[in-house]
Amino acid sequence: MQAFDYKFQQLEPIKSFKRVPAPEMYVPGHRTCAGCGPALNYRLVAKAAGKDTIFIGPTGCMYVANASYLCTPYAVSWIHAQITNGGAVASGIEAAFKVAARKGRNTGVFPNIIVMAGDGGSVDIGLQAMSGLMYRNHKVLFICYDNESYANTGIQTSPMTPYGAKTTFTPPGKEIPEGKVLFPKDAPQLVIGGHPAVKYVATTTIAHPLDLMNKVRKALSTPGPTFMHMLAPCPKGWLFPEHLTREMAKLAVETGMWRQYEWENGTYKYTNVPKQYKPVNEYMQHQGRFAHLKPEHIAKMQAFVDEKIKSVKQAIAVAAPVPASRQEA
């Protein structure tokens, strides 16, 4: 059984913008908001993956706004999954294509199987299914497009929502002035830390399209399960003008709010590391979700980010998420 050649795809890196494949696999006609980060994210992922691809779309913005009224913007096969089970549905699809290949029903290349899950569908309600997929060593790329909230339900906090953000479930008030008091999970570390079958994990943003596409192609060409965490700013949820979507992702990297890296078989490789990090407020000040914060809250955020940056500088695993445990970091 192990010896069977399933004809997994090997995708060459894209050398420059001029050589980006022209065909679009995520086409116009969807109903996402103006300036939607996740929609751009989807387009880039689909372009990089190409036509021999199957997408699994757990419930989230990219289900509700894309697959409305029996129309979908996918030029490749796509299936809706529940917000809970993207990883499990993808596992079943991969298993079915393996059997079909062994039985000679499917003699072509093995499809790229990609889960496009929001932050909730990845590391909150979808965490168990994602972990199951990675444990079972399926040939699937699991992407978390992170807009840092449950956005299509009206901006509720998720475990990826940053500290201090105002959401409809973390409203700032007299008793709780900072709104969200918890610090977010670390999505890639959840994968890296507990899934020995995973050999490639990468982070990227929609402001770095070539980086994004090449990481997707590398992930798809890696044996076994792979994971990508992508920052996809959300004008509606973060409360910034819609023409600044790309700028927000760029600033996130420049301030250290977001770290770009590849983790390959135990080794970290950081990219887009600024020579001098900008203060986090340069990122936060554009976003209405942080408008209520006082200087001490912003300082708390800066301390949190400083810890993360320290790890980047040492090129080691990102660790010690909350300032409270700073000394141990």
Q: Which residues bind other proteins (CB under 8 A)?
A: 51-54, 56, 63-64, 67-72, 74-82, 84-85, 87-100, 102-103, 105, 108-109, 111, 128-129, 131-132, 135-136
Question: Is the Cα dihedral 137, 125, 209, 277 positive or negative?
Answer: negative
**Least spacing, CB of residue 73 vs other proteins, in Å:** 9
Tokens, residue 54: 């199957």
State how far the Cα of 78 lies from the Cα of 292, in Å rounded to an integer.
40
Tokens, residue 91: 């596992």
Between 132 and 321, name the residue whose CB sits nearer to other proteins.
132
Between 98 and 246, name the residue whose CB sits nearer to other proteins.
98
* C-alpha torsion 85→51→3→141, nearest 10: -40
**Least spacing, CB of residue 87 vs other proteins, in Å:** 8
**Least spacing, CB of residue 48 vs other proteins, in Å:** 16
Residues 6 or more apart whose Cβ sits within 8 Å of residue 258: 203, 205, 231, 249, 252
**Least spacing, CB of residue 66 vs other proteins, in Å:** 8
Between 125 and 231, name the residue whose CB sits nearer to other proteins.
125
State how far the Cα of 168 lies from the Cα of 179, in Å rounded to an integer.
9
Between 191 and 305, name the residue whose CB sits nearer to other proteins.
191
**Least spacing, CB of residue 311 vs other proteins, in Å:** 30
Between 77 and 285, name the residue whose CB sits nearer to other proteins.
77
Between 44 and 67, name the residue whose CB sits nearer to other proteins.
67
Is the distance from CB of 30 to CB of 39 less than 8 angstroms? yes
One-letter amino acid for residue 48 of the chain: A
**Least spacing, CB of residue 12 vs other proteins, in Å:** 19
Tokens, residue 255: 């301030």
